[in-house]
């Protein structure tokens, strides 16, 4: 499972790949349509798509002459479960923590 998580998180580490996943939330897309909004080559987009496919985040299939990409949302399930395990901790209120430290570290009052 650790290897699968490593692969998913490595794929998600790149902003271009995250943008591609966001685009695929709407619907399946042809590779050329995926590449359109990016200012990089089709070959570079193809490399990103290979990484996303290896991570199981998308699938690709050929329909006629066109290669289509489809989001595979179940692939994020293990990563989501892993991340949610950290949700058991209460969020830290940094302002309250800072006030607490200031009070605790303040010089003790001098007796009269």
Quote the pTM value.
0.73
DSSP string, 66-84: EEEEEE-GGGGHHHHHHHH
Quick one: pLDDT at residue 86? Answer: 75
Query: How far apart are alpha carbons 50 and 42 in whole angstroms?
Result: 12
At residue 91 the predicted structure's pLDDT band, cuts being 50, 70 and 90, is low
Tokens linked to 49: 């798509």
Give the position of tokens 């058991």.
88
Q: Which CATH code is given to the segment(s) 2-105?
A: 1.10.10.10
Instruction: Give the model confidence (pLDDT) of 29-74 as tens digits.
Output: 999 999 999 999 999 999 999 999 999 999 999 999 999 999 998 8
- CA dist., res. 14 & res. 83, Å (int): 18
pLDDT above 70 for 83 = yes
If you average pLDDT over residues 19-26, what whole number do you get? Answer: 94
């Amino acid at each position: 499972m650790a290897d699968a998580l490593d692969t998913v998180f490595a794929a998600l580490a790149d902003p271009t790949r995250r943008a591609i996943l966001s685009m695929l939330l709407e619907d399946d897309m042809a590779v050329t349509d995926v590449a359109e909004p990016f200012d990089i080559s089709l070959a570079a987009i193809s490399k990103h798509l290979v990484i996303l496919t290896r991570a199981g985040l998308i699938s690709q299939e050929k329909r006629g002459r066109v290669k289509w990409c489809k989001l595979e949302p179940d692939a994020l399930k293990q990563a989501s479960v892993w991340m949610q395990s950290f949700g058991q901790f209460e969020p830290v209120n940094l302002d309250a923590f800072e006030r607490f430290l200031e009070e605790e570290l303040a010089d003790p009052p001098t007796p009269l």
